[in-house]
Amino acid sequence: MLIFFGLRTSKIGTYLMQNSECSYCEKSDSLNITEYGRYFHVFWIPIFPLGRKIFSECEHCKQTIRKRDFDPKSKNDYNQNKSKSKRPIWHWTGLILLAILTIFVSVLLIK
């Protein structure tokens, strides 16, 4: 039996950091924070989410910084805006289908 499964990543959201300056090229208002969601899939159907990866990137010099390396201002800006990027419902498709199938089978067995 051949089963295709694994991990995939999709972009959840991106937003511009206000009043920010790149620590590398020192360009003002050029930093974006981008959030990616990881999920487990079977036959390319997302089953459940596993985590998030957050990065800051300068539009000018393309310098990329992971969330754990954010400076205090970047952490504060991320914490204020993280509610803007919500995980899409399709990351839960497999579990939703499994729940529907379980309910359907339970109803058939009760009758």
Sheet holding 64-66: strands in order across? 5-16, 31-42, 45-58, 64-66
pTM summary value: 0.77
pLDDT score for 1: 57
Q: Could you report the per-residue pLDDT of 32-79, keeping only the tens digit for each?
A: 889 999 999 988 889 989 999 999 998 889 889 898 988 888 888 888
- For the segment 82-96, the average pLDDT, to the nearest whole number, is 85
Query: Model confidence at 26, in pLDDT bands (50, 70, 90)?
Result: confident
Q: Residue 36 has what pLDDT?
A: 93
pLDDT value of residue 87: 85
Structure tokens at 29: 């208002």
